[in-house]
């Protein structure tokens, strides 16, 4: 225990007292390693200043009664406070000057707005800190380790540039939203909130927001690399109101989980000037979105970008977005999970265009609907649930269905979706074709220019189909492999699913009651001609030939398709040296 304290003009003997309170300066001598033991007591002062490095306060409670700046750390000085702090007067300021470091490890109870400033470094190392608005500014980086914060609002980069980093599994921050929105970047300043580990939670039930880029030409960045950032049903505003040229809001997600009721560009009332920007960049982690979806709330000219590669976008509730998104391949394909964190089915609808060289993975038992003019080319994989797409505005790419439903709707008569390869897994994949009432067509809804891989049976469903004729559902031109088959699921009454391995297509048709038959035959020395009827329109048939009927070996001699009426005509060369010939017509 020390007995003498310097108040700036003289030594004070004994404990600091409540009335009158005294000021103290630690460090008139040289830097070293000094421990100041408060003896388990509550010690009162108006303010304290650390002017020499190496002091550690411990064992007790330090109650600071002065207004303004109760704690000052001079430039290039390090100080550690391991005891609890109480500050009951005004809006206390922690002044940590350039090159200085203040480590707080005992927690504290503060009144009003708590300000961290000065250009030095603050480490919230341990303990529980409570108060009103926690305000971080003036080039003062703050790191939260295994400390707990319970505050009204977080104001980062409020009156000067600041980076706030949470970097411990034990780092816990919660804010109530009392008094208004929290913000990152204000009044032309730059603010950054970086969650590497730990948890940040907005406890307000709804109606609050986190404004990333608050006003004027400020720049705000929220980076989530790990941990949990939970805004509940509240909004994440990416560039809420930094409307001037150079104003910016950025959300980077590379790990961990962020949950928000709405992800919104602009705050819905601010008018943006040219040169203002807003960006959502995702290369990992998980983003759960509520019923508000991903929307634009910006008036004027705000340059928005959504870049997706790696990670998962899920759903707290059903949500939609009409904004364009770019799929990149920085960290693999983006996953859209049509389900919440408990695997309960939710639906996601994206009507904006998806572009870029990246791919998309569909998971979750709900439905993902892609309704935009999509041009992304990195492939589509369905692992669960339903992916709904149309036949227009999609570039050719590979499709893999491991165990979900690919639901394809014809957008207009004669339109078709191109694929550069089709692969089906063994997890009971399905294909659903919605002919949308456009009638029978020989133009496939799905045209595959690549190979067809069948690792398991594929159930085929058909809706809004005509009650007659033949409709080709999809075709393929590459090699077919695997032991799987196409099997009929829900198809129109009276229709038959036809897997035409010869013609390399799958169709539904209404075959005649009687099988195809050869109706007429003509013969000359070099050929024989057949004509027949009762075929299924546009379906492949083959003429098979054998030289005897005792032990026939049927060899295909002609492959063709029935015409629109189910009729056929065939002319086949013959070898006059053969003593006899037998012919039959077969269909797939």
CB of 272 closer than 8 Å to CB of 303: no
pLDDT confidence bin for 239, thresholds 50/70/90: very high
**What is the predicted pLDDT for the residue at 6?**
58
- Please name the residue that has the structure tokens 């920085």: 330
Choose the CATH number for 518-586 among 2.60.40, 2.60.120, 3.30.70, 3.30.450: 2.60.40
Tell me the three state secondary structure of residue 563: coil
Q: How far apart are CA 34 and CA 529, in angstroms?
A: 110
Q: Per-residue pLDDT tens for 187-231?
A: 999 999 999 999 999 999 888 899 999 999 999 999 999 999 999
Angle at 282 between CA 278 and CA 283, to 5 degrees: 145
Question: Cα(549)–Cα(576) distance, rounded to whole angstroms?
Answer: 18
Helix (H, G, I), strand (E, B) or coil at 206: coil
With residue 258 as reference, give the H or E element that holds it. Answer: strand 257-265
90 and 112 in contact (C-beta within 8 Å)?
Answer: yes
Q: Which of 435, 494, 424 is nearest to 461 (CA)?
A: 435
Measured from the Cβ of residue 33, the count of other Cβ atoms closer than 10 Å reads 8
DSSP designation for 217: T
Lowest average pLDDT, out of 93-97, 176-180, 381-385, 389-393, goes to 389-393
Q: Is the pLDDT of residue 4 over 60?
A: no
Contact status, residue 471 vs residue 509, Cβ threshold 8 Å: yes
Q: Which two tokens stand for residue 427?
A: 């997890």
Q: Which of 76-85, 205-214, 348-357 has the lowest average pLDDT? A: 205-214
- The whole-number pLDDT of residue 525 equals 82
What's the token pair of residue 315? 């759903």
Q: Among candidates 210, 299, 197, which has minimal Cα distance to 250?
A: 210
Rounded Cα–Cα distance for residues 16 and 34 (Å): 19
Average pLDDT rounded to a whole number, residues 6-28:
64
Q: Is the pLDDT of residue 3 over 50?
A: no
The mean pLDDT of 2-12, rounded to a whole number, is 57
Compute the distance between CA of residue 279 and CA of residue 46 in angstroms, rounded to an integer: 45
d(CA 255, CA 227): 8
CA distance 348 to 288: 11
Contact 135, 114 (CB under 8 A): yes
| Bridge pairing between strands 471-476 and 505-509 | antiparallel
Do 253 and 282 meet the contact criterion of CB atoms below 8 Å apart?
A: yes
Instruction: Round to whole Å and give the CA distance between 331 and 337.
Output: 17
For residue 581, what are the CA distances in angstroms to 230, 390, 523?
A: 79, 50, 12
**Longest alpha-carbon distance in the chain:** 132
CA distance 87 to 210: 27
pLDDT at 1: 44
SS3 content of the chain, % helix, strand, coil (to 5): 0, 50, 50
Among candidates 319, 372, 304, 314, which has minimal Cα distance to 344? 314
pLDDT of residue 16 exceeding 60, the answer is no
**Is the pLDDT at 69 greater than 50, yes or no?**
yes
SS3 per residue for 391-411: CCCCCCEEEEECCCEEEEECC
Contacts of 577 (CB under 8 A, 6+ apart): none
pLDDT, averaged across the chain:
92
As given in the structure block, the two tokens for residue 282 are 């995702």
Residues 6+ apart with CB under 8 A from 363: 312, 335, 336, 337, 338, 339, 383, 384, 385
Domain limits, the chain: 1-131, 518-586
CA distances from 229 to 144, 198, 200 (A): 14, 8, 5
Res. 291: pLDDT tops 70? yes
What lies within 8 Å, CB to CB, of 518 at 6+ separation is 530, 531, 532, 583, 585
What integer pLDDT is reported at residue 338 of this predicted model?
Answer: 98
| Residue 26 DSSP label | E
The yes-or-no verdict on residue 281 having pLDDT over 70 is yes
**What digits encode the pLDDT tens for the residues 149-162?**
999 999 999 989 99
- Contact assessment for residue 539 and residue 509, using Cβ atoms and an 8 Å cutoff: yes
Tokens of 217: 């030409």
At 506 the pLDDT is 96
Alpha carbon 456 to its chain's center: 30
Percent of the chain with pLDDT over 90: 75
**What's the pLDDT at 508?**
95
pLDDT in tens, 452-506: 999 999 999 999 999 989 999 999 999 999 999 999 999 999 999 999 999 999 9
| Of the listed ranges 339-348, 436-445, 509-518, the one predicted with least confidence | 509-518
Task: Indicate the pLDDT class of residue 515, thresholds 50, 70 and 90.
Answer: confident
- State the pairing for strand pair 517-523/527-533: antiparallel
Q: Which helix (H) or strand (E) holds 213?
A: none
Q: How far apart are CA 523 and CA 224, in angstroms?
A: 80
Length of the chain: 588
């Amino acid at each position: 225990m020390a007995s003498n304290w310097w108040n700036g003009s003289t030594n004070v003997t004994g404990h600091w007292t409540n009335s009158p309170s005294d000021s103290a300066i630690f460090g008139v001598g040289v830097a070293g390693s000094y421990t100041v033991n408060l003896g388990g007591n509550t010690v009162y002062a108006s303010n304290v200043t650390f002017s020499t490095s190496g002091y550690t306060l411990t064992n007790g409670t330090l109650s600071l009664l002065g207004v303004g700046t109760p704690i000052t750390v001079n430039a290039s000085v390090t100080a550690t406070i391991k005891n609890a702090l109480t500050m009951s007067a005004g809006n206390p300021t922690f002044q940590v000057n350039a090159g200085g470091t203040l480590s707080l490890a005992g927690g504290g109870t503060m009144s009003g707005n708590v300000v961290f400033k000065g250009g030095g470094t603050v480490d919230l190392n341990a303990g529980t800190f409570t108060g009103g608005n926690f305000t971080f500014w003036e080039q003062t980086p703050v790191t939260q380790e295994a400390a707990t914060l319970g505050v009204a609002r977080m104001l980062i980069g409020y009156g000067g540039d600041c980076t706030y980093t949470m970097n411990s599994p034990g780092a816990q921050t919660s804010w109530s939203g009392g008094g208004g929105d929290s913000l990152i970047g204000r009044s032309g300043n730059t603010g950054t909130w970086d969650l590497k580990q730990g948890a940040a939670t907005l406890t307000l039930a709804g109606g609050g927001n986190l404004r990333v880029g608050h006003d004027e030409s400020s720049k705000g960045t929220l980076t989530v690399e790990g941990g949990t950032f939970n805004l509940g049903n509240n909004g994440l505003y990416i560039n809420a109101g930094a409307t001037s040229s150079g104003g910016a809001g950025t959300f980077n997600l590379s790990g961990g989980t962020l949950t928000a009721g709405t992800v919104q560009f602009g705050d819905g009332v601010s008018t943006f000037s040219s040169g203002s920007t807003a960006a959502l960049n995702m290369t990992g982690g998980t983003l759960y979105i509520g019923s508000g979806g991903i929307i634009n709330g910006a008036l004027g000219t705000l340059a928005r970008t959504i870049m997706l590669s790696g990670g998962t976008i899920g759903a707290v509730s059903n949500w939609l977005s009409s904004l364009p998104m770019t799929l990149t391949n920085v960290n693999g394909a983006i996953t859209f999970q049509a389900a919440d964190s408990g695997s309960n089915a939710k639906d996601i609808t994206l009507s904006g265009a998806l572009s870029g060289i990246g791919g998309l993975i569909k998971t979750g038992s709900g439905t993902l609907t892609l309704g935009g003019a999509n041009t992304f080319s990195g492939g589509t994989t369905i692992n669960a649930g339903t992916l709904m797409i149309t036949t227009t505005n999609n570039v050719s790419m590979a499709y893999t269905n491991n165990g979900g439903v690919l639901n394809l709707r014809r957008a207009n008569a004669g339109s078709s979706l191109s694929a550069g390869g089709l692969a089906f897994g063994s997890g009971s994949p399905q294909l659903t074709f919605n002919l949308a009432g456009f009638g029978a067509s020989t133009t496939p809804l799905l045209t595959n220019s690549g190979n067809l891989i069948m690792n398991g049976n594929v159930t085929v469903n058909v809706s809004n189909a005509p009650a007659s004729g033949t409709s080709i559902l999809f075709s393929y031109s590459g090699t077919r492999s695997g032991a799987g088959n196409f099997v009929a699921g829900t198809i129109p009454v009276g229709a038959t699913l036809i897997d035409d391995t010869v013609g390399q297509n799958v169709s539904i048709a209404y075959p005649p009651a009687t099988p195809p038959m050869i109706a007429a035959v003509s013969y000359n020395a070099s050929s024989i001609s057949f004509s027949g009827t009762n075929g299924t329109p546009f379906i492949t048939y083959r003429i098979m030939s054998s030289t005897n009927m005792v032990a026939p070996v049927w060899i295909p001699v002609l492959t063709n398709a029935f015409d629109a009426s189910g009729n056929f005509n065939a002319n086949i060369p013959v070898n006059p040296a053969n003593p006899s010939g037998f012919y039959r017509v077969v269909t797939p």
